[in-house]
Structure 1
Amino acid sequence: MLTLETITLFFTASVLLSISPGPDNIFVLMQSITQGPKAGMVTTLGLCTGLLVHSTAAVLGVAVIFQTSEIAFTVLKLVGAAYLLYLAWGAFRAKSSELSKSQTKTPLKKLYFRGIAMSTTNPKLSIFFLAFLPQFVDPALGSVSLQLTSLSAIFIVSALLVFNAIALMSGHLRNYLADSDKAQTVLNRVAGFVFVGLALKLATTR
């Protein structure tokens, strides 16, 4: 079993990591602003579902493949980058009037799976789980697998809390943008460039 001190320290570190700017929280930010708080929260749920895949891989040791196999790492990151470019293309093509309709135009189910795709195609998350979680594991406290599973759950809960907070706060900005065609056009362009930037960042990850 994990000690209370370890749980507190790990939860604090997880919250700080979730708050720091990165692909996932920026993704939630853009989805929330363009489609509303609910869209951001559903996207967050998808991202956290994807984290379950990475945490399970870390517990089972599958993540080692991505740390030792350059081919596997390269293929996965290129798939993720291609998906982000696809989202960027959609943002660049979006018309200003689509902002007020986007919440009904994009099904929540699609946003959920979009979050899963965003998370599972990021190979850095597998390596992150493999490198970060073991630092808080103490074999003397019992099953290592159980400790890793518990730490994964704590990290996912922290990400869920932080990302939902981002979704709620940034989603309300949409109310001020919905009546401005110019603001909507600028927002779509910004979203497109953000997705392109994230794609380039992921594609150049070593």
Structure 2
Amino acid sequence: MEFWPEFILIASVHLVAVASPGPDFAIVLRYAVRYGRNVALAASMGIGMAIFLHVCYSLLGVGLLIKTTPWLFTLFSVLAAAYLAYIGWQAVRSGAPVSVTTDDKAEAIAESPSLLKAFTSGFVTNGLNPKATLFFLSLFAVIISPMTPVSYKVIYGVYMAGATAVWFSFLSVILTREKVRSFLLRKGYWFDRLMGGVLLALAMHLIYGAIQSQLH
């Protein structure tokens, strides 16, 4: 197939992008440590499904409209920053457990969000990620040829959604292995606070970027 080289290039670029630390990783890590495998897997599925959102607006040209309309991109960035700041602040406020026992683990899971809520959090986190928006804009504008049929572009999108979900599901499984999770749960509040700090820093970075774009 003449489009195999293009597909391999897309797969390689996507692998580097999805493996890079960011809001998606922070969410999965927090959910895996605090609430267990099922919640982390649900968030992973949400992150993967959000890829379809990026692919759809890229195919429809909406992404280009967002990029070329400063106030719209600023609004998009502010919404993303507000959501990340909300999640980050909750994580930063995590307190240290007095002790970690089987009952503590069961209590943490009992207090966990529903699978639907975890899925939605993953979907919104990835869907409102401006870096993901710029990644897909670059992908469809630079790497994917204008001559590539729409059917192949859809196949690329399905692959990237599936690969993203598989990657974060893999992380969910690794992070929730009994020994790993027991250690992380004992020190989980530090990971919560660390990931919360990362999310708050990302939120501030988005706000700064939005302000700079308006000034220029």
Normalised TM-score (structure 2): 0.81
Instruction: Give the 3 Å change call, closer, same or farther, for CA 147–88 of structure 1 in structure 2.
Output: same
Which residue matches 1:153? 158
1:123 aligned partner, one-letter code: P
Instruction: Give the 3 Å change call, closer, same or farther, for CA 127–194 of structure 1 in structure 2.
Output: closer
* Secondary structure in structure 2 of the residue aligned to 1:63: helix
2:109 to 96, 103, 113: 103
Which residue matches 1:15? 15
Partners of 1:25 and 1:168 in 2: CA distance: 13
Partners of 2:141 and 2:153 in 1: CA distance: 7
Which residue matches 1:64? 64
Instruction: Establish whether residue 112 from structure 1 lines up as the match of residue 119 from structure 2.
Output: yes
CA displacement at 1:140 relative to structure 2: 4.8
Partners of 1:140 and 1:129 in 2: CA distance: 17
Partners of 2:128 and 2:88 in 1: CA distance: 16
Contact 1:35–1:171 (Cα < 8 Å) also in 2: no
* Secondary structure in structure 2 of the residue aligned to 1:46: helix
1:122 aligned partner, one-letter code: N
Structure 2, unpaired ranges of 5+:
none
Which residue matches 2:85? 85
Cα distance per residue 1:140-194 (max 9 Å; x no partner)? 55x2x2232222222222212221222221233322243x3xx243233223212
Partners of 2:88 and 2:132 in 1: CA distance: 22
CA displacement at 1:54 relative to structure 2: 1.2
2:202 to 186, 198, 201: 198
Deviates more, 1:132-141 or 1:157-166: 132-141
Which residue matches 1:33? 33
Deviates more, 1:119-128 or 1:60-69: 119-128
CA displacement at 1:95 relative to structure 2: 3.4
Normalised TM-score (structure 1): 0.84
Instruction: Establish whether residue 165 from structure 1 lines up as the match of residue 170 from structure 2.
Output: yes
Partners of 2:29 and 2:2 in 1: CA distance: 33
* Secondary structure in structure 1 of the residue aligned to 2:62: coil
Cα distance per residue 1:89-134 (max 9 Å; x no partner)? 2223333349733333221111111111112222332232121134
Cα RMSD, aligned residues only:
2.4
Identity across the alignment (%): 22
Contact 1:133–1:151 (Cα < 8 Å) also in 2: no
CA displacement at 1:15 relative to structure 2: 1.5
Partners of 2:88 and 2:123 in 1: CA distance: 17
